[in-house]
Structure 1
Amino acid sequence: MTSYSISEAAQLLNLTPYALRYYDKEGLLPFLERSASGTRFFKEADIASLKIIECLKATGMPIKEIKTFIDWCSDGDSTLRQRRDMFEERKAVVEAHMAELVETMKVIRHKCDYYEAALAAGTESVHREKAISPAP
């Protein structure tokens, strides 16, 4: 069974050792094992859990809510519905954010086209009336 030091785990996950210590302190790693001297070591299951934690963080979920999810996992099958519902909520949050990003990209593409045309003409005056228009 492979195990990793805190530095190795941090490097694998593109995190800092400080972040991993913080997650442990906040109770997000309840099954994390320690050596006799107290050194944390991370197993593959811990790495997999940390990937889920990072995924949830990327959706904007607060640490407190991630802790609730971790607690539900520890509670076993009786919390399957809550966990599924939580991921459905996260999915909706991500989908809404993606829709916002699509609209943002439309504006950015429009402005790229705008400036490309201005550069080709050598002047912005070719479409000055559109200078501040967000998108067609």
Structure 2
Amino acid sequence: MTITEVSKQYDIPADTLRYYERIGLIPSVPRSKSGFRDYDEESCRWVQFAKCMRNAGIQVEALIEYVDLVQQGDVTRDARKQILLEQRDLLQAKIAEMQETLRFLDTKIDRYEQWNSEFEKNILKSSQ
């Protein structure tokens, strides 16, 4: 697949795909005879992985390290697992923080709704 096709399929700008490859967030993409990127299944799996992890807020540095370890082979399995565990813990903490923020916003919205309801009742009473 061309970079344009991959960009459309995964909704990632082509410049971002080039950047991800340049910094090592995805391994080097195979090239066609004319030198253009020719994404194969494995490359697309890496793009999908990078997109998923970045959407979750996983740190770029951790992902680069992870990709580097994958390329070193099976001897790095424990280190890769450790990175994923650490990032999962960070993500769980972030989710908990976001849930707390959501509860706070819901409480604020409920107060406004109560205030509006009381305000409307007072308007109705005063107009009668």
TM range (shorter): 0.7 to 0.9
Task: Count the aligned residue pairs.
Answer: 120
Instruction: Identify if the C-alpha distance between structure 1 residues 31 and 21 changes in structure 2 by more than 3 Å, giving closer, same or farther.
Output: closer
Determine the C-alpha separation between the residues in 2 that align with 1:34 and 1:46: 11
Unaligned runs of 5+ in 1: 124-136
Mind listing any 5+ residue stretches in structure 2 that lack a counterpart? 121-128
The answer (yes or no) to whether the contact 2:20–2:26 under 8 Å persists in 1 is yes
Q: Does 1:66 align with 2:73?
A: no
Letter in 2 for 1:96: A
Percent of aligned positions that are identical: 27
Q: 2:81 aligns with which of 69, 79, 84?
A: 84
Larger helix proportion of the pair: 2
Distance 1:49 1:78 in 2: 20
In the alignment, is residue 41 of structure 1 matched against residue 34 of structure 2?
no
Question: Corresponding residue for 1:15?
Answer: 12
Structure 1 stretches of 4+ with a deviation exceeding 4 A read: none
Bigger proportion of residues as strand: 1
Pair 1:114 & 2:97 matched: no
Cα gap change, 1:105/1:29 in structure 2, threshold over 3 Å: closer, same or farther?
Answer: closer
RMSD: 1.6
TM-score normalised by the chain length of structure 2:
0.84
TM-score norm. by structure 1 comes to 0.80
* Counterpart contact for 1:73–1:79, Cα < 8 Å: yes
- The residue identity in structure 2 corresponding to 1:98 is I
The SS at the match of 2:33 is: coil
